[in-house]
A and B are shown apart, each in its own frame.
Chain A
Amino acid sequence: MNLRSKLMSVLILAGGPVQILFAQQKARIVVPSSRVLPMATTLSAISASPATISFTATDPDAGPDSGSSSATVSWSTSGGSAASTWTLKVHAAAASFTGCTTVKRSAVTVTCGGVAGGSAGACGGAITLSGTGQQVASGKESTSANAPYSVTLSFTLADSWSYIAKQSPSCTLSLTYTVTAP
């Protein structure tokens, strides 16, 4: 009887239909479907290809330099919800390129060129790199297991006469992509 009273209290709090248990039965909890808590989306690791994008700053008067190629940022999700929105943000922790302190991260513009995977994928506007994550793309999650996503990003570097020339070794800046999927 003591067991019955405790279970009654729990199930009433849950707000759904209850199943009365008797002391002789194996105890179990029944949660109505309307009260089932959703599973969070599982994200895979994010990969970016190619791993390195190169710029050759040869003539500041010629305008911004395009990177050697665009980058494709890829990941996958499982347990996603079609009602949930994923976002991709990018930032650079360092204020300038390593070895080229005159080349600031703010000289780099990131532009989303396309989104694949999930639904309603959309590019954000071009962003100037900063130390905080800025959204470059978003979309709705796929409900499939191991659902793939990819975002194509292009990069431009604003060349400047104020830069100090340095050709070898080249100067580098690490970008970090962050995908958030609820």
Chain B
Amino acid sequence: MKRQYIFTLAAALLAAPASYAQFAATGTTTLSVTVSAEAALSVTTSTTTLAAVGTIFNPYTGTTNLTYKIRTTQSTGTGSITLKVTSDFSPANGPSVTTPPTAGDALTYTCTVAAPGTACSGSITSSTSSSTSVATFGSAASSGNSGNAASTAWSLTNDPVYHTGAYSATVTYTISAT
């Protein structure tokens, strides 16, 4: 019995591999992230020229392009792009958003918005007293990292009472997300 035991032990030693056994251990870390709702936009047409073309007294028209970036919250998030005329046309004796020289004169616009935004519906009359919609966004909306396109196509009444000359107004776009 003893002989058998000795031989078995010796055989095991001789059969052991030349390389060492590998031992490994593992540990963990948890990475946690909160992703905030966020939005930004850039108006790429810094100055939009409104010009009348075609038939006499056709409206003055022009287009303002912008790029938006947005991400809204899962399930409950919303977003919007709005605009407001923050500085009415000047100098005087020309078009005016606040006090049109003739009833019915208006600065209106229509919207084009790339997904995931939903463009405003129809023609909207701009205002100096309240913001008006350009686009809306639902929950879990996200844009590309380089931004998505949107634009507003303007139309300004061409009223014969306007004195000749150049007039300018300022429009401010605002984007928000929750």
Q: A-side interface residues toward B, CB under 8 Å?
A: 2-3, 6-7, 10-11, 13-14, 27, 29, 31, 37-38, 40-48, 51-61, 67, 71, 73, 75, 84, 92, 97, 100, 102-103, 108, 155, 157, 160-168, 170-182
Question: How many residues on the B side are at the interface (Cβ–Cβ under 8 A)?
Answer: 44
Q: How far is the CA of A56 from the CA of B31 in the complex (A)?
A: 11
Would B26 and A178 count as touching, CB distance under 8 A? Answer: yes
Contacts of B70 in A (CB 8 A): 161
Q: B-side interface residues toward A, CB under 8 Å?
A: 2-3, 6-7, 9-11, 13-14, 16, 20-38, 40, 69-74, 77, 140, 142-145, 147, 177
Nearest-Cβ distance from residue B74 to partner chain A, whole angstroms:
5
Consensus secondary structure, chain A interface: strand
Would A46 and B32 count as touching, CB distance under 8 A? Answer: no
Q: How far is the CA of A127 from the CA of B78 in the complex (A)?
A: 36
The 7 A-B residue pairs whose C-beta atoms are closest, nearest first, are A46-B27, A165-B37, A10-B10, A55-B33, A40-B21, A165-B73, A43-B25
Would B6 and A100 count as touching, CB distance under 8 A? Answer: no
Would A164 and B36 count as touching, CB distance under 8 A? Answer: no
Nearest-Cβ distance from residue B17 to partner chain A, whole angstroms:
9
Would A164 and B142 count as touching, CB distance under 8 A? Answer: yes
